[in-house]
Amino acid sequence: MTVHFHEEDLPAGVLAPGPVAVDTETMGLITPRDRLCVVQISDGKGDEHLVRFAAGSDYAAPNLRAVLADPERLKLYHFGRFDIAALKYYLGVVAAPVYCTKIASRLIRTYTDRHGLKELVRELLGQDISKQQQSSDWGNPTLTDAQKDYAASDVRFLHALRTELNKRLEREGRMELAQACFDFLPHRAELDLAGWPEIDIFSHM
């Protein structure tokens, strides 16, 4: 298991074919204000790749964009709604098709209200991850080893989580419903960017 660090783009040919786990680190939670700093990506074969964008970046990143926009590659997220919006806003790509482990967890782990990545990894995979670096300065020109390891851990387990969550979704007959939610997720992210982040347009009120 190796964490590879890159500046401004992903090198060509470093990912195996198939699904990729994707995550982002930003300066905060308001996408137009808080710039995209790091994109993490993994093909699930044991290595993680971190792509850092400097302040003032033009986010050209042709290799990374090509992977994210590839309609033949499934993208695995945890709370993909946020990451998809950030990638669309800064890189100009709809990073789909989508699988979101948080949505899958909420559909199948109805016995708990704890759907964070740390809790999922602990219960389903029996491993522990640290979230200590979650709120740190991702815009710093020099990222610490702790930040890099934290960022990598956000994509390290998503392939295995998908396998375990799918077993439960199939068992309980909720796979079709989950897929419909995944398919809608890029549109939910688009609503966020367009000004409806906290408004449920499906509600009566």
pLDDT of residue 205: 82
- Spell out the domain ranges in the chain: 3-194
CA distance 94 to 187: 10
Q: 111-150: per-residue pLDDT in tens? A: 999 999 999 999 999 999 877 666 789 999 999 999 999 9
3-state class (DSSP) for residue 23: strand
For the residues 151-180, what does the mean pLDDT come to? 98
CATH code assigned to 3-194: 3.30.420.10
21 sits in which H/E element: strand 20-26
Q: 36-62: per-residue pLDDT in tens? A: 999 999 999 999 999 999 999 999 999
Is this prediction's pTM over 0.75? yes
Q: 3-12: per-residue pLDDT in tens? A: 999 999 999 9
Q: 98-114: per-residue pLDDT in tens? A: 999 999 999 999 999 99
